[in-house]
Structure 1
Amino acid sequence: MRLLPAFLAFALAALPAAAQTIRIGIASDPDVLDPTLSRSVAARQVFMAMCDKLIEVDERGQLVPQLATAWEWQEGGHALLLTLRPGVRFHDGAALDAEAAAAGLNRHLSAQGSTRRGEMGPVTAIEAAGPMQVRIRLSQPFAPLLAALSDRAGMLVSPRQANVLGADFQANPACAGPFRLTRRVAQDRIELERFDDYWDRPAIHAERVIYRPLPDTTVRAANLRAGSLDVIERVNPSDVDTLRRDRRVRLLEGPSLASVYIAINVANGERADTPLGRDARVREALEASIDREALNRVAFEGLYQPGNQSTPPGHPHHIAGLPVPGRDVARARALLREAGMERVRVKLSVPNTTEYVQASEVIQAMAAEAGIQLELQVTETATLLRQWTAGDFEALIIAWSGRTDIDGNLWGFNACREALNGGRYCSEAADAALREGRTRVDPAARLAAYGRAMEVLLRDRPYIYLWHAKNYIGTGAAVQSVRMVPDGLIRLQGLRLRG
């Protein structure tokens, strides 16, 4: 990968190291710093500093208390009671109590454009059950709700901002996290300062946090090695060996919940009217042209894991009976002929980060051998996400950072009319199986339901899953106590600079 000298020099010159400032390099600029509306991984990274959640995830992927100290299912799974942590304040000084928590949760349900609504399931009411207890009522049991509350659906905003959204919210955000936003320069930096009334103040050792969006992985790694960044996320496999050999830095490795896939527009507007969108045989041909094992070796030094599902092997909801298919170019060509064509052109939107571009170029070469011409359209990530929602794409390659419960990987993207279902895929059979999976509490019954859902989804191919990344984080030698959580998000609690 070629470095851009002028850009790198600018990055190295900016923001000299300060003892109490943590500088974090992230892979892209967040779409919107509003937990109700956001859908990008980059925003989730920043929210780790801004917005605590009702429930946290630990290094083993277990759910542990954060803003809620306890929870219990009631009424046969039709209600969830959460006990709130005392002494919590939002950035605007408002206290967290049951009324504030109910307002924040209702914001996710009622706000126009909310991408959290589907994650919360069949909620019928949210009510204060006491001064420091909130009860969520459901029309039916919903097993994934706890996992949803360990992510953006569990992030609460000040009741004064319960009706403020998007750009207006970003102008003066008020969550309950350890840092509050002071400045954002699009495509350049996000600056935050410590919130001195944070409930877990002893765990925070920095005065400021600065996030720098740097899409080029080699530029991120070079900035880390030069000392102008303290932490970088998503180290590219091509940089792993270099970082391992550099004594100025450390490379941390951990498991990941993430999956990368090609999303296909099958029914969202005029751009769905393509051979790929209309005909499942063309989608099958595209998948048959791809050698996932070779893709992993060529693009990722063999460090990632090929996959064909939303969960990696070893995950409790991975369907072992649906193995990754191998490449079959002859089959791909036969499918195209069966669909009435010898060759087909597909416009593939690609985020402007190193990893996606490298992988897409490998896939492009493989597909060409089967008569599928991929036209790569490299786009800034936040723009691509907006196009996905609007149906302004034929196909795109993107990652989902993964959730501890598989419902968070499948429902919003595949269920009919859900907010994250940018391709407008809709199947009664898939919906029925997914709904059973989210409303059953028995693990075996849930796994069987998701197995039926995956059979339909792998046949219809609204998504073609490709690989599961490992979680690689790079740090300066002075950085201590980085927690490797499977969701890949960098926690600021406990993190400090030695010196």
Structure 2
Amino acid sequence: MRSIFKRGLPLAAVALVLSACAGPDVGQPGGAGGGDDRPADLSAELTVSQIGPVPLFDPHRAKNVTSDSGYLSTVYDRLISFDHEFNLHPMLASQWKFSEDLRELTLSIREGVRFHDGSELDADVVAANLERARTLETSTAKHLMSDVSDIQAEGDNTVRIEFSKPTPMFAYSLATNITLGAIISGKALAAGTDLARAPAGSGPYKAVTISQDRVAYERNDDYWDTENPPRLARVTTVSIPDDNARLAALQSGQVDLAPFKPSSAAYYQPLLDSGQFVSDDSFQGIIYGIFLNAKTPGLDDPRVRKAIGLALDRKTINEAVFDGGGPEAGQFFFEGLPGHVPELEENAYDPDEARRLLAEAGYPALTINALATGSEPGRTLATIYQDQLAKVGVTFNVQIPDPADLRPSWITGEYDALASVLDVRGEPGFFLQENILGPYNPGGSDPELVKAAEAALELGLDDPKRAEALEDLSRRMAEEPVHVPAVRVPGVILARADVMGIGKMTFSHFSSVIDVRTLGVAQGV
């Protein structure tokens, strides 16, 4: 299996310096026009389907950083970008550099960038955005700023960020977490603009109409990155959470591009056989499993949490839901990532041991009240979890909220579990920040595990000790689980045959979202 995590200068943690160039050439990863060398029809329009709901369009208040990325990336540029191989590239920051002790990050802010409202980008605007992400009461990026001690604009084009401890993951977070890295117009922030109605970014497309289930965008003809201009005249994004409805929309021509899972192959194969559609299955996919709230009576005992993991027959789940196309996930750091431990991939299904552990912990019968995602395959997976856990004496009650409320409801700590996606985002540090130390672990973790996770996050991304530290964490999380992984689901994108740039989409490589920045339509096809 190919590695999806590339190392080298873009991810070096010490003295990280990127050139001040505008970015890669058209047809190469990283820019708005990446992905295919055929001439583009610049008058073309596309309609794409997203699984998640239309978001607020305020990056700092994004309810679901994963599904919201596909919408927000169209309008908002980030300080740093990344390509389909997870290398970092300049965006609104033309250069960045960490101090040797990894406690300071200096950003050089690109000149000549204008927002959609006509205002200009400068260091003050960037500093104001970062400060808002850190201090806004409803900010969903706040936890990523917990180690930031100071943010200063120095002149027109330099921003200096100081940290209370080594924080080498911050540049990666600026690139891959749109709630942190996206930059809003300073004019809009000062005016208190309702971003849900009037998004104010500097991205390659402008949002012109926003409704409950769709967003219409038009090309930003004044886009600053002239080497990588947007290649579509207009884009419409439609939220279609149901797989069957999404497939029907693609088949009928209502949408031109849509994400699917390998389990849908029998249904979409006729489209590919027709020669009118193409697919790309190079995306690493996402891990489905069960978040656990360790403050809940019963789940506060690591033996109970381990029993839940032993009760899941991952091989059966894979065959039943994904026709064998979704590798069983015995750990969160899958093959190709630092911290991967091959022996943990064995299907650790042992219902007898699960019953023994539950009885030993004093919970031969246990009820868990869980939230679950309503879209597929999450809904089916939740049903299978119910059946398999019932066999060891665990009643798994499932409630399916509105999609936009799923994760906000979970982080309140009022529920025992969440059956959903456990986001890794191409980097183990991201998983640790979000799901061990961050808001998606409302029950907290064992102090020793927290200490080990924090120590791993302080190591430079190229520090040889880092892989060893992450492997140790993988073993700890398998022996005394915080959350329980079940299966990794690769992503598949289907599109009209004339659509270009599918394989170069960035956010699509760790989630089922369409990132339109790289897309175009070939001339004369």
TM-score band, normalised by shorter chain: 0.7 to 0.9
Q: How does 1:308-327 map to 2 (within 5 A)?
A: 308-320=330-342, 322-327=344-349
1:37 matched to 2:64: no
Higher relative contact order (CA 8 A, sep 6+): 2
Q: Which moved more, 1:476-485 or 1:152-161?
A: 476-485
Q: Partners of 2:346 and 2:146 in 1: how far apart?
A: 30
Q: How does 1:258-269 map to 2 (within 5 A)?
A: 258-267=286-295
List alignment gaps of at least 5 residues for structure 2. 1-41
1:86 matched to 2:111: yes
Q: How does 1:279-298 map to 2 (within 5 A)?
A: 279-298=301-320
Amino acid in the other structure paired with 1:157: I
Change (3 A) 1:235 1:48: farther
Q: How does 1:176-325 map to 2 (within 5 A)?
A: 176-186=202-212, 188-200=213-225, 203-239=229-265, 241-256=269-284, 258-267=286-295, 272-273=296-297, 275=298, 277-320=299-342, 322-325=344-347
Q: Partners of 2:200 and 2:175 in 1: how far apart?
A: 19
Q: Which moved more, 1:43-52 or 1:426-435?
A: 426-435
1:70 matched to 2:95: yes
| Aligned-pair CA distance for 1:109 | 1.2
1:463 to 483, 501, 512: 483
Q: Partners of 1:144 and 1:170 in 2: how far apart?
A: 29
Change (3 A) 1:241 1:280: farther
| Aligned-pair CA distance for 1:405 | 3.0
2:463 to 435, 443, 451: 443
Change (3 A) 1:337 1:221: same
Q: Could you tell me whether the CA contact under 8 Å between 2:311 and 2:354 is conserved in 1?
A: yes
Amino acid in the other structure paired with 1:158: S
1:355 to 377, 394, 399: 377
Q: Partners of 1:368 and 1:437 in 2: how far apart?
A: 37
| Aligned-pair CA distance for 1:45 | 0.8
1:477 matched to 2:497: yes
Q: Could you tell me whether the CA contact under 8 Å between 2:49 and 2:514 is conserved in 1?
A: no
Once the two structures are superposed, what CA deviation does each residue of 1:411-444 show, in whole Å capped at 9, x if it has no partner? 23222xx4333x3213221221111111121532
Q: Could you tell me whether the CA contact under 8 Å between 1:115 and 1:420 is conserved in 2?
A: no
Amino acid in the other structure paired with 2:272: R
Q: Could you tell me whether the CA contact under 8 Å between 2:206 and 2:219 is conserved in 1?
A: yes
Tell me, what secondary structure is at the counterpart of 1:332? helix
| Aligned-pair CA distance for 1:95 | 0.7
For the aligned residue pairs, the C-alpha RMSD in angstroms reads: 2.5
| Aligned-pair CA distance for 1:251 | 1.2
Amino acid in the other structure paired with 1:407: G
Amino acid in the other structure paired with 2:211: V
Amino acid in the other structure paired with 1:181: A
2:517 to 479, 493, 496: 493
Amino acid in the other structure paired with 2:206: R
Once the two structures are superposed, what CA deviation does each residue of 1:333-382 show, in whole Å capped at 9, x if it has no partner? 22232233443333332211121112222222222222223233233321
Q: Partners of 1:426 and 1:365 in 2: how far apart?
A: 27
Amino acid in the other structure paired with 1:154: G
Tell me, what secondary structure is at the counterpart of 2:59? coil
Aligned residue number for residue 10 of structure 1: none
Change (3 A) 1:232 1:112: same
Tell me, what secondary structure is at the counterpart of 1:465? strand
Aligned residue number for residue 6 of structure 1: none
Q: Which moved more, 1:55-64 or 1:188-197?
A: 188-197
Q: Partners of 2:261 and 2:191 in 1: how far apart?
A: 36
1:432 matched to 2:454: no
Tell me, what secondary structure is at the counterpart of 1:56? strand
Change (3 A) 1:345 1:400: closer
Q: Partners of 1:23 and 1:131 in 2: how far apart?
A: 39
| Aligned-pair CA distance for 1:143 | 1.2
Q: Partners of 1:256 and 1:120 in 2: how far apart?
A: 27
Amino acid in the other structure paired with 2:88: L
TM-score, length basis structure 1: 0.87
Amino acid in the other structure paired with 2:44: Q
1:398 matched to 2:426: no
| Aligned-pair CA distance for 1:480 | 1.7
Q: Could you tell me whether the CA contact under 8 Å between 2:151 and 2:162 is conserved in 1?
A: yes
Aligned residue number for residue 161 of structure 1: 188
List alignment gaps of at least 5 residues for structure 1. 1-17
Q: Which moved more, 1:224-233 or 1:434-443?
A: 434-443
TM-score, length basis structure 2: 0.83
1:454 matched to 2:474: yes
